[in-house]
Amino acid sequence: MPDLKNTLTAALSEPRPTLVEFYADWCPHCRRMNPIVDELRQIVSNKVSIIQIEGDGNPGLMDQYRVNSYPTWLLFKNGQEVWRDGGEKPLGDLRDMIDRFV
């Protein structure tokens, strides 16, 4: 399995935006978001990279990106964080947010 930190660093260096979701397997909100993230990935995969990071297994990344709740959403454009939010999100809200920054 590739190193998640290297995968994230590589994605953030690409010209296209990257949406990162920090989640936990035990989090009911995160579990409800899984099918929405899968659908979002199918819809916007040509415009945005989507990376899901299991936070409990990656405390260093949690600290690095100042994440302390699940799910936490971060959108990066040109390697810089341009949007951050937390909690369950409807598919339409995530699509609208991506369209604003792409």
Active site residues: 27, 30
Strands, E assignment, the chain: 18-23, 49-54, 72-77, 80-86
Report d(CA 49, CA 46) in Å as an integer.
8
Gap between the Cα atoms of 72 and 66, Å rounded: 10
- What is the bridge-based pairing of β-strands 18-23 and 72-77? antiparallel
